[in-house]
Amino acid sequence: MSERLGGVVLVHDAVEKILNLKLIWVDSGYSGPRFTNSIAQLINAKVEVIKRTKKEFEVLPRRWVVERTFAWLIKNRRLVVDYEQLPEMSEAMIYAATIRLMLRRLACNQNFS
């Protein structure tokens, strides 16, 4: 299955959860008018392709956000390897890791005086 078709299937399956989504950033693997039109028909969201401008390494706008988030999640040993048999359990582990991260940040910002 191509990346574009997989992206459309993913959005189709999650359409109830992402109705208020207005913009989707994608890499060049998802470029093309058919993908953009399919997403627009499903959830009426704009698709913006983040393209490289140079051959050598460069930090792409918005893409680093995804990489940084993955790095935060991987700090939880349970998420390093996908041990779960059910996707719902993997999703629950991601929620737990995110909640843990938010609670740690909130606790660090508290003034106990």
Q: What is the pLDDT of residue 27?
A: 83
Q: What is the pLDDT of residue 111?
A: 64
Tell me the domain boundaries of the chain.
1-52, 62-113
Cα separation, 71 vs 24, whole angstroms: 21
- Confidence band (pLDDT; 50, 70, 90) for 112? low
Separation in Å, CA 40 to CA 21, 43, 49, 65: 11, 6, 14, 24
What's residue 95's pLDDT?
92
pLDDT at 68: 85
Tens of pLDDT, residues 49-64? 888 888 888 777 777 7
Give me 28's structure tokens. Answer: 């060049």
- Give me the mean pLDDT over the 6-30 stretch: 86
Q: Are the C-beta atoms of 19 and 43 separated by less than 8 Å?
A: yes
Within its chain, how far is the Cα of 18 from the centroid? Answer: 12
